[in-house]
Amino acid sequence: LHKAGWWSPESVTDDVDVSWRLQLAGWRLVYEPKAICWILMPETVRGLWRQRLRWSVGGTQTVLDSTPALLSGKRWRLLPIWINYVVSILWAYAIVIGGVFWVIAMVGIPLPDWAPIFSPIPGAWGIVLAATYLVQSGTSVLLDSKFESRFHNVMFWIIWYPVLFWTLQALTAFVGLPKALLRRRGARGTWVSPDRGIR
Amino acid sequence: MKTPGPSKPDWPPVIGSGITPFIRLRDTILTIIAWIFVVALLWEVLELLWDYFSHPIFAFSKTHSLSWLGLLDRIGNFALVSLLLVLWLTFWGFVGRKEPRRTHDPRPVPALLLSEHAAAFGVPPETIERWRQSQVVVVQFDAANRLENVTAKAPAALDADPADRGER
């Protein structure tokens, strides 16, 4: 941590930022399945939106800031993660812009042929991706179940990822990119913890 | 972050079904509806798979609007790329899990010198030593991100103030 410059006071996602800088400094991070902890999560949609938007801004800021170091330091190990992030943002923009055109078309305004239209009602590919995700989640739960008792219970709730959460991710990525780009250099990274609506 | 002891029944603040029975019931019903929605979308594929893998196995007992060839034609390239990525990740996963053991250096990592640590934060080493004795430290920075004020808090104060619980 000392060599990587400790935690950045400017980042709004301290964990993402410091893990990227550690790896850019030549360290390796490995997955420890036995390290289990719990996390407090937002309990309202507004709280969830604010948290995910902050994560999006922080993640984008980290990826943008890391790009010169990644290329000049030749840390190619991080390149697939970098590409994954950039492609995810492009995907989010495609989804949101296509969704906006779909709404315009639905209200009867004629659109030019080049306008991409994405219906929020899943088509064949939406179903394929949702099914792929469920297989992926099932495999992860199968692998991680031996480290955490009753972990398989999460499979019941995991359906919200393809049904709703991806839309939230796309919207936060869409809003998060300009926020990250316009964020003043040197601005303090501060945030309020998720709401605690339910007692 | 302070590790809460067993004497605090409200910690961690897990929202159990006893606390919010209506919300739990609502969420369960909505989740079942979400599953029904996804299963309905996947119905044709599930029916095809069920028929193919049930008795008589590897044969269809009735005609389906979908066929293997039709399915392969639509998602063949996607399935191939996915398979290659899975193989690629699995291969590097197996290679990668051996690497930490192979490159593991059993010699203990020398502790960071207190003077070096203190210099990074612009404070005397004895101040760092004093902070280390505290379980909770509230740190304030100035506009230039330099340490401005550091207050050691008593551990009991942690329970009273949820903002100090290391939440994300």
Q: Do A196 and B38 count as a contact with CB atoms less than 8 A apart?
A: no
Distance (Å) from the C-alpha of residue B60 to the closest C-alpha of chain A? 22
pLDDT-flagged residues of chain A (< 70): 194-199
Q: Do B141 and A6 count as a contact with CB atoms less than 8 A apart?
A: no
Asked if this assembly's ipTM is beyond 0.85, the reply is: no
What pLDDT, on a 0 to 100 scale, did the predictor assign at position B108?
Answer: 81
Backbone phi and psi for residue B152, each to the nearest 5 degrees, phi listed first: -80, 130
Q: Which residues pair with B147 in a beta bridge?
A: B141
Structure tokens at A23: 């790896």
d(CA B93, CA B56): 37
What pLDDT, on a 0 to 100 scale, did the predictor assign at position B121?
Answer: 79
Closest residue in A to B86 (Cα) is A136
Bridge pairing between strands B147-153 and B136-141:
antiparallel
Structure tokens at A133: 């995700």
Distance (Å) from the C-alpha of residue A27 to the closest C-alpha of chain B? 12
Query: A4, A18 in Cβ contact below 8 A?
Result: yes
Q: A114 and chain B: CB distance < 8 Å anywhere?
A: no
A128 interaction partners in chain B (CB closer than 8 Å): 75, 78
Write the CA distances from A159 to A85, B38, B41, integer angstroms: 23, 8, 13
What pLDDT, on a 0 to 100 scale, did the predictor assign at position B103?
Answer: 75
Residue A21, class by beta-carbon neighbours within 10 Å (0-12 exposed, 13-18 middle, 19+ buried)?
buried
> Using one digit for the tens of pLDDT, what is the confidence trace for A78-93?
998 999 999 999 999 9
Q: pLDDT averaged over consecutive 10-residue blocks of chain B (168 residues)?
A: 49 66 89 93 85 83 79 86 91 80 78 85 84 81 77 59 44
Q: A30 and chain B: CB distance < 8 Å anywhere?
A: yes
Q: A160 and chain B: CB distance < 8 Å anywhere?
A: yes
